[in-house]
Amino acid sequence: MAQQVRAHNIAVSRDGYAAGEGQSLERPFGHADPRQLMSWAFEAESFPGRDEPGGSRGFADLLVREFHRNVGAEIMGRNKFGPQRGPWTDEEWQGWWGDEPPFRTPVFVMTHHPRPSFTLSDTTFHFVSGEPAEVLEQALAAADGKDVRIGGGAQTLRQFLDAGLVDTLHVAVAPLELGAGSRLWESPDELEDRFRHDVVPGPHEMVHHLFWRE
């Protein structure tokens, strides 16, 4: 199969927000509590960085393992990479993920503000500007025949969706409302015209939406 463009484990509230308002170093998800959005994934045995045994090897794990399967590069928005906005005043910041980022591939961070690439363990971060299609072209080339993951946040993913560049998408809807913040959609119906779509209720009142293009 040709290289695919995929997004996985995108957690949103019932009203479609992937993060709240007021994102900062202390509150990377703003007024949203990431545990409420992501607890279904944190409990999966294969969740990156999980260091205690006894995690789920059921449905959550099946979904979480897809995150790494056959992915050769990630594209993320600048707001996923860190809390800074505007020009890079602090190049000491190397992302949220410590010395061993879970990506283990090239990662393309979309930003209008140039910054040199750097490598942490198996992950190299590149800082790129341009339209989604241009950035995707670079990521597909870097992925060495494997797929490209659109890592988020919501605005970045929505740009790629609206440009018709995403082949498969997994969104996990959590049982809470956020009211404001970084929004993926008002309703999953917005994607019905472009995708086939399974709706699968999972543990913890999560509803998993799996979209794919023919």
Residues at the contact surface with a copy of itself, assessed by CB under 8 A: 53-54, 56-60, 62-63, 66, 168, 196-198, 200-203, 208, 210-212, 214
Would you say 27 or 104 has its CB closer to a copy of itself? 104
From the CB of 108, what's the least distance to a copy of itself, in Å?
24
From the CB of 56, what's the least distance to a copy of itself, in Å?
7
Would you say 63 or 140 has its CB closer to a copy of itself? 63
From the CB of 173, what's the least distance to a copy of itself, in Å?
15
* 118-120/71-77 β-pairing: unpaired
Would you say 44 or 143 has its CB closer to a copy of itself? 44
From the CB of 110, what's the least distance to a copy of itself, in Å?
26
Would you say 21 or 45 has its CB closer to a copy of itself? 45
Would you say 54 or 86 has its CB closer to a copy of itself? 54
From the CB of 200, what's the least distance to a copy of itself, in Å?
5
